[in-house]
Amino acid sequence: MPSGYDGEDFVGIDEELIEPSGPAARFWSTHLDNAIASNIQNLGELGDAVTWAPITNHGGDYDEKLQLRPYASFARTDFLVLPWYYPQDSSEIEVGLIARVADETGDDSTVRLYVERWNAALTQQLAQQQPALANTEGATPQFQDFVVTLPFARTQEADAVGALVLGLVSSKSASAIATTLGGGELFRAAILRADDANFYEDTTDPRPNSGGFDTQASFLTGGGVELDHISYPNNETSAGGADLTGQLMGILGPGVPVSNQIQRFGLSCLQLKGLDIWQRYEDTTRPAAQVYAALKPLLGEVVVTHALRLDAIYTRPRPLWVGPVGYLPNPEAPEWPTGYHYRFSRVYGDDGADQELLSASLWVDSPSPRLLVLAYVAGLHLWPVPGPEGSDARSLTPQIEWEHVLTVRQLEDGDASWAAAAARGTSTTLRTHAHHAHDQASLLAMSEAATRYPATGGAGGGPGEGYAYKEGQISPKLDYGRLELVALVVDLAGYDHNTDRPLRLDWTVRTQTPADEDWGDVPNTSIDGSSVQARDLDTLALVVVGCTIWELPQ
């Protein structure tokens, strides 16, 4: 079958092939049926695309690298864990990255990228690709396109929700940067305090740079121990006082007694300007060629499949938005270094006010659609704030109810701001979230604790020194179990898709005042030297790790 009738091209069909002319009539031909079928196949296989670009604090070109968060880790971490709607007939995902692969130590090393499909519960991996992304520091511009295609083992037979995961593993620099610690020490102890030199390398040289500990890892001489660096709040008397104001740098996981020297090595890193996700389909519904052959009895049930197939394509769920895209620090949080953004969205418990969890601008092109918001949300109880040896009461998980409100607004002529825009749809959902107790082995818990309790001053930190290493990355091994898939819908009844004006979706939450039993057995204690108590609402964090918004045409 030549091009044009096999779905490879879309060829507009002229009315002269169809239009009757008075008492004379145009015959319904195999040419017409095949052209329609092929166009529908082309449309169907074309699929849907959506883009994601993290917020940055600069508008630089594709060579501009500074102040754009570098992702690096020697152990596998994931920087994008998205709930994804895999509709019937979807056959592969194509991910295109605009990325810079660099190694600040000067090696021309690569980053191993992981593009994976998981089931919704993140318990089973269903497809994966692991390309090595070449170093781009010598390229012009330094940000280059990388395209990774993730085919499914079998074309999707029925709609399913799952996960789309992007992760990475960095390469280790050829030679050590420095010796960190002497032999015989308990390596789990803090390596640096926030006010130590080089803790935040960008005080003199914005990251990524060769001295940044967040793009380094520690290795035991002779092998056997390979550990990524994290930052975490200091509540240890021995390390600077339990005032929650300091911050320490150490390694993730339990302590490791070592006898050999520990050395620091540089890691290759990945910086993303953005990516696009293209959901592609296989046409499994195109009838055999013989069905549209000439001289066949022209049965309605056969030809009406054109309309059915087209309708099936039109009514597919379409991805509209991927997030979170991150946000810049509040001016009232001077501890977060200027020029850097937070990657995940989060709120802390508050039963007195609605708090914005996410906001998204959307272009919707079907009348009165339903919007589906899918999100992986982690409920955390940031208590007790652990030190390297931590505290002992960490097995309890408060069950707290939150109110989720989705509001979709649309600007009209005369509206001066979004606040004045008319609401096209709203929905309210009450949902109880488990707030996982702290765990020092969890990258998510540790980085969220460091974000919640940054170095604000005192012995361990100061303004601009509250940067949390690896915020925006999670560890697949332990953190998947903390993610909860949340699905919220809002119907846009009466939405006129011809208005050609964008919509804005706001997702706000409010903590419902918990009853005593909601806290379980969490004792309402405090840490010496701190006014924070365990049952304070703002010890509860709701973190959006990944979110997608879908248009479901009705």
Partner 1 sequence: MATKRTLIGFQFEGVGIDAGKAGGLCVSWGRWSPHPSSDLEWVEALADLPDAVSTEVNPYTGDWSTSAFSVQLYASDRLARLFLSDQRRAQAALAFGINSSTGVVSIGDPTLAGSVIWVDDEAIYLTSHSGLGVYVCTRGFWGSSAVSHALGALVYTRIPQWQMRLVRLIEHDVDTGAERVRWRGLVRDIDMDRGMITVSCDEYLAALTRAEVNQEAPDLARGAGLAWQRFEAATYLKGSPLTGYASRVRPTGDGLFCFVDVDGVIGRVVQSRLDGRAELDVLDWIYGPAPDVESGPYEGSVYEVLVVTPDPNVTSIDVATYPDAHPLTVALVLLTSSGTGRNGTFDVLGERWGLGLDIVDLASWTAEIDRSPHLQIDHLTLGAGGSPVNVLQVVQDVLLRPFGYFLSVTVEGLLSLARLGLPTLAAQAAAGAGASVYPDGPLVLERALGEQAQQISVTVGGTPGTREATPILIREPDRLTRRGLLGDVRAHQYDLQVLDPRRVANPRRSGSAVLNALASLLSLGLDTVPRLRVRIADHTVTGTAAPDLGAWVALADLGPLEDAWLVDADGERVSDVTGAAWIGMVVGRAWDLANHTYTLTLLLLGYRVGAYVRERAPAAVVAGWNAGTLTATVEADTFGGAPTDPETFTVGDEVTLYERDGRLASLVVRTVTAVTASSITLSGAFDTTPTEGRVLGLPLSNEFANTTRYPLTPRPYAAIADEGEGIIEEMDGATSPPDIYGSFVYGGA
Q: Which residues bind partner 1 (CB under 8 A)?
A: 1-2, 4-5, 11-35, 88-89, 124, 157-159, 285, 287-305, 308, 311-312, 315-316
Closest separation in Å from C-beta 296 to partner 1? 5
Nearer to partner 1, 2 or 331 (CB): 2
C-alpha distances (whole Å) from 354 to each of 162, 325, 398, 503, 538 are 29, 21, 21, 20, 14
Closest separation in Å from C-beta 126 to partner 1? 11
Nearer to partner 1, 17 or 225 (CB): 17
Neighbours of 15 (CB within 10 A): 7
Nearer to partner 1, 183 or 287 (CB): 287
Nearer to partner 1, 74 or 84 (CB): 84
Closest separation in Å from C-beta 38 to partner 1? 10
Closest separation in Å from C-beta 17 to partner 1? 3
Question: Containing H/E element for 374?
Answer: strand 370-381
Bridge partner list, 401: 432
Tokens linked to 367: 């009348």
Contact 485, 376 (CB under 8 A): yes
Distance (Å, rounded) from C-alpha 250 to C-alpha 239? 12
Distance (Å, rounded) from C-alpha 2 to C-alpha 293? 15
Q: Whose CA is closest to 66, among 200, 205, 197? A: 205
Nearer to partner 1, 157 or 517 (CB): 157
Nearer to partner 1, 2 or 138 (CB): 2
Closest separation in Å from C-beta 475 to partner 1? 20
Neighbours of 260 (CB within 10 A): 16
Bridge partner list, 464: none
Closest separation in Å from C-beta 157 to partner 1? 6
Please report which residue ranges of 160-205 form alpha helices under DSSP H: none
CA angle 487, 491, 492 (to 5 degrees): 135
Tokens linked to 280: 């592609």
Closest separation in Å from C-beta 421 to partner 1? 31
Nearer to partner 1, 303 or 485 (CB): 303
Tokens linked to 15: 């009315």
Contact 143, 99 (CB under 8 A): yes
Q: Whose CA is closest to 171, among 112, 219, 100? A: 112
Q: Whose CA is closest to 435, among 520, 351, 357, 516? A: 520
Nearer to partner 1, 28 or 418 (CB): 28
Nearer to partner 1, 123 or 498 (CB): 123
Distance (Å, rounded) from C-alpha 370 to C-alpha 107? 50
Closest separation in Å from C-beta 302 to partner 1? 7
With 0-12 / 13-18 / 19 or more C-beta atoms within 10 angstroms meaning exposed / middle / buried, residue 221 is middle
Closest separation in Å from C-beta 283 to partner 1? 11
Distance (Å, rounded) from C-alpha 535 to C-alpha 522? 7
Nearer to partner 1, 124 or 428 (CB): 124
Closest separation in Å from C-beta 503 to partner 1? 23
Distance (Å, rounded) from C-alpha 277 to C-alpha 48? 8
Closest separation in Å from C-beta 538 to partner 1? 40
- What stretches of 482-539 adopt beta strand conformation (E)? 483-491, 503-511
Provide the residue type at 83 as one letter.
P
Nearer to partner 1, 238 or 554 (CB): 554
